[in-house]
Amino acid sequence: MGSLQHIKRKIASVKSTQKITKAMKMVAAAKLKRAQDRIIAARPYARKMSDVLGRLSADVRRDIHPLLVKRECKKIEVMVVTADRGLCGGFNANILRKASEFISDKEGAYEISLTLVGRKSKDFFEKRGRQIRQAWTNIFDRLSYQYATDMGNDLIKGYTSGAFDELYIVCSEFKSALQQRIVIEKLLPIEAVEVPETPAPVDYIYEPSKERTFEMLLPKYIEVQIFKVLLESVASELGARMTAMDAASRNASEMISKLTLAYNKTRQASITTELMDIVGGTEALSKQR
């Protein structure tokens, strides 16, 4: 058992850490509400846009727009979205593990390149010598739609130029503050949605032309889907951080209780020892007299 001074210093240190974890939990909780509202508002639009374009692409020739063209797949781009910072439980580690497994499964048959969002993913794959085509860091504190536009333009340029033949996104999907789900979504080429047969098939009239319609909608579709992914990641990160800091604060409370008990026991043992020394000294003096 340590000295009284040593235990006292440990108690002070844990209390100081607990103040930080409580503050981080409060900040994450305050930011989470806004992030949750943004992703709830964005989901229906992104889902409907995906559904509409999927249905339209089932009724047109896939060679009318480069983003609809399916090529023989030789090169795959994997977009991995993590946070810029840690202290959010297993949020980053779970995404990176899933991405690594996916890359390992595809690596033998395809050439793999990476688009990385978040400093944690960039640092992780740089250390492992992976081929990084593009990286985006420090964007989540002031996340705006412009980042999704820039990323979308970069990915569209990469796909149309033949830098890769398929694009997959590995990211976290927000469920609640206590639950996030790691998903892998194929973004390019855009897949057609099977439309159920109806007695009277729907014949779409395109105004302007089909080519012009897809030329306007498809880049916007990519941007919207990427923005949704970024919003999902922000909400998931804040939820994971709030949960992790809450657990850390509770653990700190338990540690403080145990250290306080150890401090009291050590202090009691020290006082008992001192009393016994005094009694022993008194008895020795009495015998000498």
Active-site positions?
A: 88
Rounded distance, CA 140 to CA 147, Å? 10
Nearest partner of 227 among 28, 49, 23, judged by Cα: 49
Query: At how many degrees (to 10) do helices 210-288 and 4-57 cross?
Result: 170
CB 183 within 8 A of CB 171: yes
Rounded distance, CA 256 to CA 249, Å? 11
